[in-house]
């Protein structure tokens, strides 16, 4: 009897539950810009250095990566143990242009010190955005941000040329950061 009962029990154990129905795939939500984006950003409960920068008082004028780096406190002429940078010739980020040894991606980093947030800022020439990662103060979770730069050449009839995007013109001069 045990020989008959054991295979039946094993077969019953293999009859698992049915998988839940597949969830429909939806398109990603469009990114907000301007006042609507500032409103969404400033409504966040988990505060960090990015929300401090853009939501307390009036946001500083950010014309490009240089000003953004300074505003986040990631500037500095000295490469201390708690502040640094890395250049990488490959990328698995949001960069849409080719990151290579000729056009590396740079990541500025500062570790947490005395209640300061961990911060990392990534940028590659040719892209009109930067990626920011900071640690939220409320829960300690990483917060990811995308800052888009609007270059004056975007308003011209010809659009932006590689010279506009890959030279100092695209690295430090823009009409607004959103």
pLDDT at 24 over 80: no
Place of tokens 């708690």: 82
Name which residue leads in pLDDT, 90 or 150.
Answer: 150
Burial 71-107 (b: 16+ CB within 10 A, else e): bbebeeeeeeeebeeeebeebeeebebebeeeebbbb
User: Looking at the predicted structure, is the pLDDT value of residue 176 above 60?
Assistant: no
Domain regions of the chain by residue span: 33-177
Of 129, 90, 130, 128, the C-alpha closest to 108 is: 130
- Lowest mean pLDDT: which of 13-22, 93-102, 126-135, 166-175? 166-175
């Amino acid at each position: 009897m045990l020989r008959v009962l054991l295979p039946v029990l094993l077969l019953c154990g293999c009859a698992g539950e049915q998988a839940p129905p597949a969830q429909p795939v939806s398109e990603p939500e469009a990114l907000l810009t301007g006042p609507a984006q500032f409103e969404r950003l400033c409504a966040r409960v988990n505060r960090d250095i990015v929300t401090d920068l853009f939501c307390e008082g009036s946001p500083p004028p950010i014309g490009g990566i240089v000003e953004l780096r300074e505003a986040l406190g990631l500037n500095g002429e000295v490469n201390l143990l708690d502040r640094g940078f890395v250049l990488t010739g490959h990328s698995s980020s949001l960069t849409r242009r080719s990151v290579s040894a000729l056009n590396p991606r740079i990541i500025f980093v500062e570790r947490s010190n005395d209640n300061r947030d961990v911060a990392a800022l990534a940028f590659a020439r040719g892209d009109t955005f930067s990626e920011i990662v900071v640690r939220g103060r409320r829960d300690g979770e990483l917060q990811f941000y995308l800052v888009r730069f609007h270059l004056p050449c975007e308003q011209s009839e010809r659009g932006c040329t590689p010279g506009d995007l890959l030279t100092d013109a695209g690295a430090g001069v823009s009409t607004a950061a959103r």
